[in-house]
């Protein structure tokens, strides 16, 4: 298994995994968590991090203070991996709050996406993550600047129509990602995230720099959707999945 799985990838550990929490006091809760068969997610690590182990995270629900538990594990102790849940999977769940069904159906009509954050963790665990002020957190596969502008316009319109907030990332060719709202802003530079760190990048270079162009398509371990957003209409064409 690769030691560079994409951010947001769900991973399940072996029963005898040699994991260690960053904070020792969090270990009992993590023991309970993994005993339930629940996953952790791949987290970003610093580019100069000397620790070869995979960096993972487990976000707890609001009832537990929304703590984010961090841990490290040898890659060989990961026995299963999966991308984040597809938005369609979350919409199909009977426990989706009724007031969110129509807004999320409208979001799915804009473009295919995958879900992380509160809606994903509630679907995965059955614990109460979603509340009245929740945002929905999504990942979109974006091939070029035209597709990014197309999506940004429709996300702004969705927020105005439904008076709700959508957060998330544009997954770029070459294995990086940017926050959609930051990309939609006026700053000359945006924060580009990769699994091994993050760096400010000039906006005009996001889709044209060597860091994003000319790469081979990523493997199927990517959490981003496998359809690229078509800038001309509401349909999508097949494109290579990319890693965040």
Active site residues: 135, 137
204: left (phi over 0), alpha (psi -120 to 50) or beta: alpha
Dihedral of alpha carbons 152, 157, 160, 162, sign? negative
**Integer angstrom CA distances of residue 33 from 12, 180, 232:** 11, 31, 44
**Contacts of the segment 120-124: beta carbons below 8 A, 24+ positions apart:** 120/84, 120/85, 120/90, 121/59, 121/61, 122/61, 122/95, 123/85, 123/89, 123/90, 123/93, 123/95, 124/10, 124/38, 124/39, 124/85
Cβ(200)–Cβ(188) under 8 Å?
Answer: no
Q: Which residues contact 31 (CB under 8 A, 6 or more apart)?
A: none
């Amino acid at each position: 298994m690769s030691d560079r799985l994409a951010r947001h990838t769900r991973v399940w550990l072996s029963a005898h995994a040699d994991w260690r929490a960053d904070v020792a006091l969090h270990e009992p809760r993590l023991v309970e968590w993994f005993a339930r068969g629940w996953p952790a997610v791949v987290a970003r690590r610093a580019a100069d991090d000397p620790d070869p182990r995979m960096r993972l995270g487990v976000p707890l629900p609001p009832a537990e203070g929304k703590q984010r538990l961090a841990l490290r594990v040898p890659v060989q102790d990961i026995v299963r991996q999966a991308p984040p849940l597809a938005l369609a999977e979350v919409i199909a769940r009977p426990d989706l709050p009724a007031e969110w069904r129509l807004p999320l159906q409208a979001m799915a009509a804009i473009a295919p996406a995958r879900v992380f954050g509160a809606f994903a963790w509630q679907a995965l665990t059955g614990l109460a993550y979603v509340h009245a002020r929740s945002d929905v957190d999504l990942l979109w596969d974006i091939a070029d600047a035209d597709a990014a502008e197309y999506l940004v316009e429709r996300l702004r319109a969705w927020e105005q129509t439904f008076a709700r907030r959508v957060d998330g990332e544009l997954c770029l060719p070459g294995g990086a990602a940017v926050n959609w709202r930051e990309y939609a802003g006026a700053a000359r530079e945006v924060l580009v995230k990769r699994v091994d760190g993050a760096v400010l990048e000039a906006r005009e270079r996001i889709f044209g720099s060597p860091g994003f162009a000319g790469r081979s398509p990523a493997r199927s371990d990517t959490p981003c959707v496998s359809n690229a957003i078509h800038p001309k209409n509401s349909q999508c064409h097949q494109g290579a999945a990319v890693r965040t």
